[in-house]
Structure 1
Amino acid sequence: MAEPTTFNTEIAVHPRLQHIGLTTGNLEPLLAWYETVLGMQAMHTSEDPTGLRSQGLEVKAVWLSNDEQNHRMAIIEIPGLEPDPERARHHRLQHLAFEYNTVEELLGTYVRLKREAILPVLAVDEGLQTAFYYADPDQNVIEINVNNYGDPFTAIEHMRSSTDFAHRPLGVHVDPGLMVEAREAGANAWQLHKRAWNNEFAPEQPWDPTVLL
């Protein structure tokens, strides 16, 4: 008689997101950008990941991480790839997100990147979180955010039951610089969120929703 199976074949198991993969035609600017923005460091570089360089396949690969995982990102350089000027109007992965622990980390990163002339293409208080979106050299959009509640389960409840989220699921646009000034003046994380939701940090130039990210 066959032994009964000892593994679950009935209910979906929820795996954790481990890493993302990108392709590019211009590797070095991308590596520099991810090191500057997210602190990504190369874990391993291969000049011939396919083993076919001798046959003319000029491919390079780099594996990167900014935490305890062996890699959070893999970037493959394929010579000849070109930017797509109509990318925003094609099917694509719209953005990738990375989470900070505190609003101070988020705002401090904004200030640091601004010194490097790296500015958000969009900044939003989304109710359950505050998020700044940046475009890398290949125009992939990277979100950095912080949970406004400081607790993932409360944020889940916000998404499920808050009238704020139901009425404005895409949140309100903010000027990160104004948030930095308010935090330096003594506003705590929750006060920043409530003031943002009241449009106290609205940017001078409203975001144009017809400009697709």
Structure 2
Amino acid sequence: MAPTNGTQKVLSPSKLAHIVLRTNKFEQMRNYYCNFLGGHVVHGNDYLAFITYDDEHHRIALLSNPQLQDNPGTTSGLEHIAFTFDNLQDLCTAYKQRKALGITPGWCVNHGPTTSMYYRDPDGNMIETQVDNYDTAEEATASMLTEAFAKNSLGMDYDPEELCRRVESGEDEASIKKQGDVVPRGAEDLPNIRAKMMSSQVGV
């Protein structure tokens, strides 16, 4: 959408670099994100941790403040952050590895453009891991302009164990990503979805 005041569009960044989270559970959060992302601390001390899993110097940073109140999940703020995998095989591999660490998703859903799993960190922040369901961004955008997506922009839930069984059986990933018949779903479903996401297990 163009600027509403008629001025020139602001130059966009070249990429999203990192997320910084403040926490009153510093050690638990540091261990969680290293486990969750298969990452490591590039630099850390007793109040800061810079965590990466790729060639960026850090993707998640944690700032400790023991005086913070726990996150009630009832105020405005960030809903979730998302990480993309290349394919369903990788999504399932990470799902099973996290499950072995006691980290499980609370909500698994085919959104249409993506196949996604939602987790919760020790502070209650939500994390999405996803696979793109279309080969190009243009195809994904086109799917979001359809009547089916307007009828249900939240998606259709699935069982992660069944999804991974299908992947491991050798079924074509394109067929697994197909959303199937879409039933209407709207704002009235959000409380139930939130409850599912909060049921995620964060491990030890």
Tell me whether the two structures share a fold, i.e. TM-score over 0.5: yes
Letter of the structure 2 residue corresponding to residue 21 of structure 1: V
| Partner residue, 1:33 | 32
Letter of the structure 1 residue corresponding to residue 166 of structure 2: A
Out of 47, 58, 71, the position equivalent to 1:71 is 58
CA shift, 1:10, in A, is 3.3
Counterpart CA distance in 1 for 2:143 and 2:66 is 45
Counterpart CA distance in 2 for 1:93 and 1:210 is 14
1:124 correspondence with 2:109: yes
5+ residue gaps, structure 1: 1-8, 48-59, 200-206
Q: Residue deviations 1:68-115, cap 9 Å, x none?
A: 11111110011222313xx22211211000111111111111111112
Counterpart CA distance in 2 for 1:120 and 1:187 is 23
CA shift, 1:179, in A, is 0.5
1:98 correspondence with 2:98: no
Q: Judge conservation of contact 1:135–1:142 (CA < 8 Å) in 2.
A: yes
| Partner residue, 2:200 | none
Out of 155, 159, 169, the position equivalent to 2:140 is 155
| Partner residue, 1:203 | none
CA shift, 1:198, in A, is 4.3
Q: Judge conservation of contact 2:52–2:58 (CA < 8 Å) in 1.
A: yes
Counterpart CA distance in 1 for 2:33 and 2:10 is 33
% identity of equivalent residues: 29
- What secondary structure, in the 3-state scheme, does the structure 1 residue paired with 2:119 have? strand
CA shift, 1:212, in A, is 7.7
Higher relative contact order (CA 8 A, sep 6+): 2
CA shift, 1:185, in A, is 2.0
1:26-65 equivalent positions in 2, closer than 5 A: 26-47=25-46, 60-65=47-52
- What secondary structure, in the 3-state scheme, does the structure 2 residue paired with 1:144 have? strand
**Inter-CA distance 146–14: structure 2 relative to 1 (3 Å threshold):** same
Q: CA RMSD in A?
A: 2.1
Q: Residue deviations 1:6-61, cap 9 Å, x none?
A: xxx933111121111101112111111111111221111144xxxxxxxxxxxx11
Counterpart CA distance in 1 for 2:167 and 2:193 is 28
Q: Judge conservation of contact 2:33–2:39 (CA < 8 Å) in 1.
A: yes
Counterpart CA distance in 2 for 1:38 and 1:113 is 9
1:14 correspondence with 2:8: no
Deviates more, 1:161-170 or 1:141-150: 161-170
Q: Judge conservation of contact 1:127–1:164 (CA < 8 Å) in 2.
A: no
Counterpart CA distance in 1 for 2:150 and 2:84 is 23
Out of 145, 148, 152, the position equivalent to 1:164 is 148
Letter of the structure 2 residue corresponding to residue 24 of structure 1: T
Q: Residue deviations 1:179-213, cap 9 Å, x none?
A: 1111122212111122x5348xxxxxxx9346385
* TM, length-normalised to structure 2: 0.81
Q: Judge conservation of contact 1:65–1:72 (CA < 8 Å) in 2.
A: yes
5+ residue gaps, structure 2: 1-6, 183-190, 198-204
Q: Judge conservation of contact 1:127–1:197 (CA < 8 Å) in 2.
A: no
